[in-house]
A and B are shown apart, each in its own frame.
Chain A
């Protein structure tokens, strides 16, 4: 009995000793007789952190300058040169990364996942454009965003879109934003960066598929100006909402509008609201009735949309690596081993982690997707309801006004205004 304990202790001591020792190499490093010197390991270092602070400084400088150009100087040429500069700097020099459009995912991930350490630049790039928008409108879109700048140069023959088409296409960015937030909050993927259509052009490198999408968007942009900004950009949704409450948004006429109609067709983005004919609409009663109905329908819409989208939460969750792996392992348990199991499965098995832990983790991720898709669906329903209700609210306009939400502050209309 005693000898057994002794052996155990001996084994324990030996194993402790060997654990502390550095791993012994199979083939020890040779002692060279000649003058040969062992070369250093070739690794390249990254750019120092100071350059990333430079990005923030450039962003603040650009935002201040362009806001001054638009709101105070009312100078279209300045906007043009600024967008050229940001296309070259943020686009081709910084290769489209970091951009505020993608940073909203970093912020979401940091808010939902405390282990994630968000870079300071991502926080700055998310908040600074929104902060400026709060005061001066979407001046960021006008000429600081590299994605907007590259499309702006292609807006050669813009056509006016029918309002119902615009409303319908305008729902896409909201769905896209919802999906982006869902995937970022669950720590699955950054889809906005993955499907960024112009970053391949900035990098001169990437997949043919995304090159094709980017090229198609640019060509579409000749007729439908800035298709990505208006009908896809998820960050644009936030800027749109914030810009509606902006303090010093640029106005077409510096003084009183004389309704000369010169600016009527100036806007390539259909963001100029024309004057309404009547000061008060006649069938006021009818409209109020409609408004009440829509207000009652809105909660219903929230529930319907939430329910519909939560039905697909399982499909959304399939993008997540752990969920996919757990599903595949479960299929194997049910149907038996395939002839050649996937690399993921063999790797997981060789890692020696218990399957139960993975299943539990995957189940919790699926639950988060379920809750997230309810919230996302509800949000979409709410937006739908508000859009419907807003149709009934009649707002009297006696002059040409910019639509503060949709206006990209490109300052094209300012050149047409004869009022000095």
Chain B
């Protein structure tokens, strides 16, 4: 009799606590779902805040960073003397290795018509160091911009680059604003 009473009391307490935990979980689930974003929030960097410090190429958890240089072709001036492509002080404006600014040779220069040249980023080679971005922004139109390429990004819960970004350019955005490019016209 005494034993069964004891067991019943324990059951009662357990049920009470279980209900309490259940209610708490439910409250968290409902309360947070209401102001949650559908789908996932993604990481993107704002080029207007970016200072091209070079952390993007070294801080990403991926061995070649998910941050790549993106060429906004609508803004490009197709210059012969491209400050993003050529190293400062080069005498001859050609594709020779010693003239090129990009450390991995990820920018391809092709002749279009006199005096214009097209520039293209080879994404596999780009390591997101931002050297070209810095020079293009300083002396050119700023059509080269760093962006997180969403196909490569693993979308870490806390972006490792965001942690080391000196200008706090990395933010969580929703899937509607996948790219925060300047002067980019969506088609």
Listed in ascending order, the chain A residues whose CB lies under 8 Å from chain B are 23, 25-30, 32-34, 36, 38-46, 49, 52, 95, 97-98, 102, 105-107, 110-111, 114, 116-124, 126-127, 130-131, 134, 189-190, 193-194, 203, 205-207, 242, 245-247, 321, 342-344, 347-348, 350-351
Contact = CB atoms under 8 A, between A and B. Distances in A.
Contacts of A52: 39-40
A29 B78 contact: yes
Interface residues of B, number: 68
A189 to B, nearest CB: 6
B51 A347 contact: yes
B166 A347 contact: yes
Given A134-B18, A193-B157, A29 B77 contact: yes
Interface in B31-48: 32-33, 35-42
Given A38-B73, A41-B70, A347-B167, A117 B140 contact: no
A126 B29 CA distance: 9
A44 B116 contact: no
A42 B123 contact: yes
Contacts of A242: 21
B73 A27 contact: no
Contacts of B63: 205-206
Given A46-B175, A117-B172, A193-B158, A40 B116 contact: no
Contacts of B158: 105, 189-190, 193-194
B53 interface: yes
A325 to B, nearest CB: 8
A343 B167 CA distance: 9
23 contacts: A23-B183, A29-B78, A30-B78, A40-B73, A41-B72, A41-B73, A42-B71, A43-B147, A44-B152, A45-B178, A49-B39, A52-B39, A102-B157, A107-B32, A116-B172, A117-B37, A123-B36, A126-B28, A127-B25, A205-B61, A245-B14, A245-B21, A344-B166
Given A97-B156, A343-B51, 5 more contacts: A26-B139, A98-B40, A117-B37, A134-B21, A342-B166
Contact of B42 (A25, A26, A46): A46
Interface in B170-184: 172, 174-175, 178-179, 181, 183-184
B1 interface: no
Contacts of B75: 25, 29
Given A36-B112, A43-B179, A134-B18, A110 B70 contact: no
